[in-house]
Amino acid sequence: MSRIVYVNGEFLPEEKAKVSVFDRGFLFADGVYEVTSVLGGKLIDFGGHAKRLARSLGELEMNSPVTEDELLEIHRELVKRNNLEDGLIYLQVTRGAADRDFAYPEGVKPTLVLFTQSKPGLANSPVAEVGLKVISIPDIRWGRRDIKTVQLLYPSMGKMMAKAEGKDDAWMVEDGVVTEGTSNNAYIVKDGKIITRHLGNEILHGITRAAVLRFASEAQMHVEERSFSIEEAKAADEAFITSASAFVMPVVEIDNVPLGDGKPGSVSRRLREIYLEESRKVAL
Ligand code: PMP
């Protein structure tokens, strides 16, 4: 079934949607993106994603092609035109199309593309019941991971390394400590304390992370934002990841070492419930 996608001001059937071969997103990965979940036809944490998009664009001296209000309208229109109940909206802004040159071109219009991905039952994933098995890999990405760019080749390779070992995902390690998952933020739980890497240029400032830490504090759970090693993680009581598409997802094994009893932990399960419940309440 063909989707209706959005490209530079137009809603088109996906076969009709086109981007130039000179687009800098294609030639230089000169673009940023966001992924917003849709549950029950409503957008989860749209405001957070719009704010981070503005920040990513600012860091790369790119202009936003539309206002936040226009962006919300485009998201809603895509949900409507595609009858999207549960799934994702992917958004990408690139610097635009120009003759190939490393220097940023002047006066070029940014490219804006959005499309939907239907994922029926997204919030009821059976994976949440069994949890993820992860491996650790060195973090060899560039130093501005706080900018949500479309340079995703290493995370893609990381997922393939995990798959080759029969596992689900990889946690990346730099200078002896965990930065984040290939496409998610990483957490461990020890003696009831939730520990996750502090913010900086080394990790993406997850929108789900911000919400989950807020909900955890509101529920009187103890949160520590600091680095932790893979050894500390393997000795943890439980672990989990967060992302806009996975919400809160338990991790039950790291580098072949089962955590706790090898089943999703109670803190992870509770946070997943709270996150889904609270986010649905304020979905747009
Ligand atoms: N870290 C990385 C590297 C990611 O790719 C993602 C998801 N895109 C996240 C963290 C989680 O961010 P969010 O909760 O905003 O989806």
Looking at residue 138, its amino acid is P
Containing domain of residue 55, as a range? 4-121
Q: How far apart are the first and last CA of the chain?
A: 26
Choosing from 46, 183, 276 the residue with most ligand 1 atoms within 8 A of its CB, the one to mutate for a pocket test is 183
d(CA 223, CA 212): 10
Beta bridge partners of 33: 92
What's residue 186's pLDDT? 98
Whether pLDDT at 1 is above 90: no
Residue labelled with tokens 């919030």: 123
CATH of the domain at 148: 3.20.10.10
45: its two tokens = 């944490």
- Whether residues 116 and 144 fall in one domain: no
pLDDT confidence bin for 57, thresholds 50/70/90 = very high
End residue of a domain, out of 121, 149, 174: 121
Q: Does residue 184 have its Cβ closer than 6 Å to ligand 1?
A: yes
End residue of a domain, out of 105, 121, 137: 121
pLDDT digits (tens, 9 = 90+) for 80-101: 999 999 999 999 999 999 999 9
- Whether residues 192 and 108 fall in one domain: no
- Whether residues 169 and 267 fall in one domain: yes
Number of domains observed in the structure of the chain: 2
CATH of the domain at 101: 3.30.470.10
The answer to pTM > 0.85 is: yes
d(CA 38, CA 41): 6
**Hey, which residues are catalytic here?**
148
- Whether residues 139 and 271 fall in one domain: yes
Whether pLDDT at 159 is above 90: yes
End residue of a domain, out of 65, 93, 121: 121
Half-sphere exposure of 114 (CA within 13 A, CB side): 25
Q: Does residue 94 have its Cβ closer than 6 Å to ligand 1?
A: no
d(CA 176, CA 231): 9
pLDDT digits (tens, 9 = 90+) for 202-247: 999 999 999 999 999 999 999 999 999 999 999 999 999 999 999 9
- Whether residues 58 and 177 fall in one domain: no
- Whether residues 145 and 232 fall in one domain: yes
d(CA 52, CA 276): 21
pLDDT digits (tens, 9 = 90+) for 255-277: 999 999 999 999 999 999 999 99
- CA–centroid distance, 160 to ligand 1, in Å, is 18
- Whether residues 51 and 21 fall in one domain: yes
- Whether residues 108 and 131 fall in one domain: no
Choosing from 204, 207, 214, 242 the residue with most ligand 1 atoms within 8 A of its CB, the one to mutate for a pocket test is 204
pLDDT digits (tens, 9 = 90+) for 129-141: 999 999 999 999 9
- Whether residues 277 and 170 fall in one domain: yes
For the chain, what is the radius of gyration of the CA atoms? 19
- Whether residues 140 and 249 fall in one domain: yes
- Whether residues 229 and 90 fall in one domain: no
- Whether residues 134 and 225 fall in one domain: yes
